[in-house]
Structure 1
Amino acid sequence: MPQNSSERLAAYFPAAPIGSPAPPRRYTDTDIEEIAALLEDHEKQWSSVPRTYIVLRTIGHLDLLNKLIQLGFTDHCFPVKASVLPPRLQPSVRNAIVQAQSIIITKSLDLEKGEYGKHWHFAKGEPQPFKEHHQLQGIRTETSPPPPSVRE
């Protein structure tokens, strides 16, 4: 079992055996949060762009991460089209980013960006991309009693 943060981070990016076209791994919100936490031990500014880190590491262009951060690129830019990526990037790199971005598009990102206005459903027990802080006043749930004006 990996012990230090470098080993734990590397475990998210296993090398495919030579000659086997392994399908790309899709990352969950939990994976992305854990990678962000691990990145704090390496490059603090990278921890704020874990999705960008994942995509660039996956396509073999992690060397571009600091430059993209300097240019103002953030995880909020995803999903992205090749035409809006910095023109300084080679067309092949821009296309690789666009092709690889599906591995970091999660329900929470899609929910935030509203792809095609989809209505998302979360399975029972599936991690949800939000936390309940408190119940809004006047909102009934299945377990809450009816408001006083409705009671007999």
Structure 2
Amino acid sequence: PLQLSQHRVREKEAVKQSGVKTAKVKGVKNLEEIKKAIDEIGYPSILKTCSGGYDGKGQWKLLEEKDVKSINWNENVEYILEEMIRFDKEVSCLVVRGINRDIVSYPIGENSHKKGILNKTIVPARVSKDILEKVEKTSQEIRKRLD
């Protein structure tokens, strides 16, 4: 499971296989591949490094073609192009399993960002009970799939 969470393409594919809906994504390795991926996914989208990036680092917002031209490509790095999804709030649910195999879900947090970097998390998240239940259920589905 750790190998999945350390590589964005593998992580997204595993989540999709668990039956959870995700944004459209496509792994890319060079400028030619990103142009094909943009034809499928479109603008706006986000290009991210598959590993090593976090909190807005290793990420580029692509709103139009000129944004692609401004990327300084590293041919030795794998990337993922993700459809940009509009949303009101981002929430997260941390699910852990101890060495005794007990599983615990922490309270769901509401995340706020500044310039693409996580600024703060408010716990509990300020969302409806229905949303909290859906997030918990989805988190458990992913946990079961990834064991």
Q: Identify, as 1 or 2, the structure richer in strand.
A: 2
Rg comparison, structure with higher value: 1
Calculate the TM-score normalised by the size of structure 1: 0.25
Q: Identify, as 1 or 2, the structure richer in helix.
A: 1
